[in-house]
Amino acid sequence: MPPARWPTREEAARARWFSPIRIGRTLTAAERTWVPAMVPWRATADGFVTPEVLEWYARFAEGQPGILVVEATGIRDIASGPLLRIGDDRFIPGLRALADTVRERSGGRTRLFIQILDFVAVRRRPEPRRFFGRYLDITDSLRGQIALWRDDPRWREAEEDEVRDYLLAADRVTLETVLTDRELEALDYGYRERVWDMHLPHIRELPRVLPSLFAEAARRAREAGFDGVELHYAHAYTMASFLSRLNTRSDGYGGPRESRVRLPLEVLAAVRARVGDDYVVGIRYLGDEVIAGGSDLDDAMWFGVRFAEAGADYLSVSKGGRFEDARQPKVGEAVYPYTGTSGYECMPTVLSDARGPFGRNVPLAAAIRRAIREAGCSTPVVTSGGITTFDQAEQILERGDADCVAAARQTLADPDWFRKIRLGYGREVRRCEFTNYCEGLDQRHKQVTCKLWDRQFDPADPAVMLASDGKRRLSAPPWSPPADTPAG
């Protein structure tokens, strides 16, 4: 863990991190402290805000960060488990309650954005019996492969049930020989769509439907009282996949980077047209995909300039978090994009290489910011990843590597940490241990909590809400500054 030196209240008052910043045409954040999106799995099964969602954001608001970004929220009106949704006007009242709660609990100090996302289908890894018995399409091409492998042309005419039974009993070498790579992947990892699956009509039409889906979601965010929207172009989801070098779409939305950035720019333009010039529209995207054949920093610098020139109000740079290198899930579970090397780079832990996990992604934001400035744009750039001390953040800003410094897990461990530092109580910060207990819960879609919250846990205390499994405390223990602390 990097040693922490905490500033006095006077030093904090002079610090860059606690200085205001203009974002977009009309918004000013009181400070450059930032909480990036974190999904806590607390919405209802049909995507509505719950009291637990309100409490989660209220707790972050009490720490009074400059910017708080609400978790990835689905733009479509489709079943997506306990993930927040913004795909219909019926979600607006709950989201409005969320915006009001943050305003009230931060004393009006925190600006609130909401991250909006689209994703394509990812299914759980199937039982082989179900996969061969039901899911797998028995095609003529598959029959042909079996005929070749068995050197027996009768397989070309085989009944479907006979093929299914054969495959269920087949050894691994046979399966690897007769199944396509995608069929084998569906068996081993679960069926997963790509945005370049042009044989699927709903994938083909993504460029036609996404601009208005994003624009309508952004309009609802504005109506609900959010200060801005963040377009989720990062990690494993639809828009990041359009930007990926792996995107081979042949309809002018894949291949060279000018084509890969086309839909992300069309979405940005549609959102801007719907919400107006005076509303914050930011983008979170990847400084590097960290997968074989994926987009790298060179692409990200180029995309950053395009986004800035097209009027994005800020760029929040993340890294990795892709499906391509994810670990094989257990049967019945879905592949999780934060388990491979790219996942490690997204949420680095203390089990690291010589470089260590702290501030590991800053060079990406710095290079993107430089490229944007050289192109004449002043768009703020946000960095995140292993930020855990005041000095780290201050040095990043001093060097001009970013304009805002975000902390996800450190803020989860101690939602009050920004306020503690600002008021001169940095020594009371509960420091994140970066071992990803929280991320393990996220992986299983369980209510996200921090292992450190339970230290002062008294199960008999009626003020303590418990997670649904009854084992853990649902929110961070409270903190208030000592009574003689001057207001601020």
Ligand X SMILES: Cc1cc2nc3c(=O)[nH]c(=O)nc-3n(C[C@H](O)[C@H](O)[C@H](O)COP(=O)(O)O)c2cc1C
Q: Which of 266, 237, 252 is nearest to 71 (CA)?
A: 237
Please give the structure tokens belonging to residue 286. Answer: 């990847």
Residue 71 partner contact from ligand SF4, ligand X, none using kind-dependent CB cut-offs of 5 to 8 Å: ligand X
Among 59, 272, 319, 409, binds ligand SF4 (CB under 6 A): 409
Among 387, 396, 402, 467, binds ligand X (CB under 6 A): 387
Alpha carbon distance 417, 486 (integer Å): 17
DSSP-H helix ranges across 18-117: 51-62, 92-105
> Residue 233: what are its φ and ψ, rounded to 5°?
-110, 20
Residue 452 partner contact from ligand X, ligand SF4, none using kind-dependent CB cut-offs of 5 to 8 Å: ligand SF4
Among the options 57, 189, 191, 237, which is catalytic? 237
E strands of 18-165, at which residues?
21-23, 27-29, 33-35, 67-74, 111-117
Residue 384 partner contact from ligand SF4, ligand X, none using kind-dependent CB cut-offs of 5 to 8 Å: ligand X
Binders in 92-111 for ligand SF4, by CB under 6 A: none
450 near ligand SF4, rule: CB under 6 A: yes
Classified as helix, coil or strand, 87 is coil
How do 228-233 and 280-286 pair as beta strands? parallel
Q: Is 314 a catalytic residue?
A: no
Length of the chain measured in residues: 488
Task: Write the binding mask 424 to 443 for ligand X: x where contact by CB under 6 A, - elsewhere.
Answer: --------------xx--x-
Classified as helix, coil or strand, 410 is helix
Residue 386 partner contact from ligand SF4, ligand X, none using kind-dependent CB cut-offs of 5 to 8 Å: ligand X
**Inter-residue contact 386 to 360 (CB < 8 Å):** yes
Instruction: Give the DSSP letter string of 296-334.
Output: -HHHHHHHHHHHHHTT-SEEEEE----STTPPPPPTTS-
318 near ligand X, rule: CB under 6 A: yes
E strands of 160-306, at which residues?
228-233, 280-286
Among 6, 135, 166, 437, binds ligand SF4 (CB under 6 A): 437
Among 21, 408, 413, 474, binds ligand X (CB under 6 A): 408
Query: In which residue are the tokens 């300039």 written?
Result: 305
Residue 450 partner contact from ligand SF4, ligand X, none using kind-dependent CB cut-offs of 5 to 8 Å: ligand SF4
Q: How far is the CB of 160 from ligand X (least distance, A)?
A: 42
Among 31, 71, 183, 325, binds ligand X (CB under 6 A): 71
Total residues interacting with ligand X, rule: CB under 6 A = 25
Among 238, 384, 447, 449, binds ligand X (CB under 6 A): 384
Please give the residue ranges that form the binding site for ligand SF4 (CB under 6 A).
Answer: 409, 412-413, 432-438, 450-452
Which sequence positions are flagged as catalytic? 237
